[in-house]
Amino acid sequence: MQSFLIANPKGGAGKSTLATNLAGWLAQQGQRVMLGDIDRQQSAREWLKLRPHSLPHIASWELHPDQPARPPKDTTHVVLDTPAGLHGKKLAHVLKLVQRVIVPLQPSLFDILATRSFLDALLEEKSIRRHDAFIAVVGMRVDARTRAAHELERFLDTLGLPVLTTLRDTQNYVQAAAHGLTIFDLSPSRAEKDWEQWQPLTDWVEQPLSGVQS
């Protein structure tokens, strides 16, 4: 079973957008996907309630009284959405459960500063240092024409971590999410540009763990 943690300590970084769309892409590939949410708001679970039954299925946690939540039997891929402020012992515990970490990052000074500290903390975790988990970054809501986008690009160059892709600022994500959809459920005429931006990320997801570099 492959597992992905979508994490950034700052609220509004695009974690749920990235998590739901990654789960949607995996489901489109015929994988048995579970989208889990360790956020108290349970936004991923609420999104799943909106998802039409005619679309590729995405499961949620199996919940039983007096037992820990767990993926449904035969799950092949787990995508975990996380709350803002994830750090310390809780972060260390979650890192032990996953194989890869994807950090969404928006092109603003506050996002960059918060994420720099978070990435420093991630790299101090034992599971990361032992390469039990691999980290990559995805730029979110990036308008390449803006100064903020150039500042983000300059910051990403200093990380020494894979920057998989940058995703444009478009209402496609917002409008799709409102109906339980992902951009991969939209028509090519509407979302082909977004699919192209996702290609480096999905290529990374499909790599064997031995071929992923952190």
CB 181 within 8 A of CB 51: yes
Give 108's DSSP letter.
S
For helices 109-124 and 88-95, the axis angle rounded to 10 degrees is 70
Q: What is the rounded average pLDDT of the residues 35-55?
A: 83
- pLDDT given for residue 183 in this prediction: 96
Predicted confidence band of residue 119 (pLDDT cuts 50, 70, 90): confident
Across the chain, what does the average pLDDT equal?
Answer: 85
Tell me how many domains the chain contains: 1
Task: Choose between 173 and 99: higher pLDDT.
Answer: 173
- Beta partners for residue 105, in sequence order: 139
Confirm if 52 and 87 have CB atoms less than 8 A apart. no
Which tens digits make up the pLDDT trace of 67-82?
556 778 899 999 998 8
Domain that holds residue 141: 2-211
To which residue do tokens 């998802």 refer? 51
Residue 28's CATH number:
3.40.50.300
pTM (predicted TM-score)? 0.89
- Quick: pLDDT tens for 159-204: 778 888 999 999 999 999 999 999 999 999 999 999 999 999 999 9
